[in-house]
Amino acid sequence: MSKVLVIGGGVTGIVTAWVLLDRGYHVVIVSKEWASFGKDQRLTSQIARALWEYPPAVCGQHTNTESLHRSKKWCMTAYRIWEAIAQDPNLAKDAEMQMRKSVFFFPNKPEHNTKQRFKLSEIYRSGIKGARRDSSLIQGMGVNLESGAVDAYELLVPVIDTDVSMKWLIDLVLRKGGKLVTDKINGDLLAQERTLIMRFNSDSIVNATGLASKELTSDSTCYPLRGALLRFINDGQDFPKITAAMSIAADASLDNEIVFLVPRNDNILVVGGIAQREEWDLDLTLDSPIIQRMRARCEDFLPCLKNARLDSEYPLAQGLRPGREANIRVERETRNHDTHPSRIVHSYGHGGSGWSLSFGCAEEVAGMVEDMLRND
């Protein structure tokens, strides 16, 4: 069977490797780093809030209709697979994955907002479980009545503990026969395609390197979107235990400083967030003004959080979402060699939606690899 080299050790790369392995390919995954669990900087895929959302996401960056349309298809593929995992007691425990209520609040009625009205109608038709619109959720969830929220709806969605799930995904890929190689690849992939194919004895390459694709594909439209989360102890001692995720749309706040609260697992609540474009440095602290504003904004939205305790082991998580001007790129390499087409397939630029789109993008990538190897 054909061999595929997957470059990238985040959720996009690992899930793509899973799908390729299930289709019978031999897969090697190369990454400069893997999921870690100490106090050092963790992968962007681990820092992600990993709350499944129907596009456009609260912190989404869609700029064209085609990208949004494809994302809706991808997210529903991922929804069905994550849901199946969450509903299997053994898998759900191993992967630390649960189906939870997710409540979205809005500063105006959907009747007065064409985009929200259209999104809500699509959600009702999509097959997403538990879809229900009810403005009484505002008071029922303890939201500050002066926060600007005037309407709400809830869904039943996958919520993922990214640290545990990344380890589970990697272990699963290894059990399926995948091979991991720790290495950093520099420079444009097209220029070194033949070398990489010979080195790893592969027939094709999948690029799932997120923000590193700026260098690896010479794609100047890639940019970082810095995000951050605070991690609170959610054990019911300092405030009533929060079991449902909550979000308020970015257009309800200034400077894209969104509000979301996600019960990561049975003990940790992550809250945020921010979306700082072109900020490359991971130098935020609890004392940074933007982090203090973020916390104040969340406390204003849900006043019980004023009593919250930070997780002393890991209070602040920050990372760089992989943004892209033309939005998500899932396609074959468009540049060719002199005598033959490239055998590189790309999957990057997912912004804050890597988990939500994971299996949808992976299935499309696997289809492209199959067509390419059959027809070239």
> Per the annotation, does 321 bind a ligand?
yes
Q: How far apart are CA 67 and CA 110, in angstroms?
A: 23
Phi and psi at residue 371, in whole multiples of 5°?
-65, -40
258, two tokens: 């969104």
> Per the annotation, does 209 bind a ligand?
yes
244's CB contacts (< 8 A; 6+ apart) are 100, 101, 102, 103, 141, 154, 263
Asked if 233 contacts 239 with a C-beta cutoff of 8 angstroms, the reply is no
Cis, peptide link before residue 273, omega less than 30° from 0? yes
Q: How far apart are CA 121 and CA 136, in angstroms?
A: 20
> Per the annotation, does 352 bind a ligand?
yes
Residue showing tokens 């006043």:
303
| CA distance readout (Å), 148 to 117, 157, 309 | 18, 24, 26
DSSP 211: G
Asked if 273 contacts 227 with a C-beta cutoff of 8 angstroms, the reply is yes
Calculate the CA 4 to chain-centre distance: 24
Asked if 261 contacts 314 with a C-beta cutoff of 8 angstroms, the reply is no
Q: How far apart are CA 75 and CA 7, in angstroms?
A: 22
Binding residues for D-dopa: 321, 352
Known binding-site residues equal: 44-45, 209, 321, 352
Give binding residues for FAD as ranges: 44-45, 209
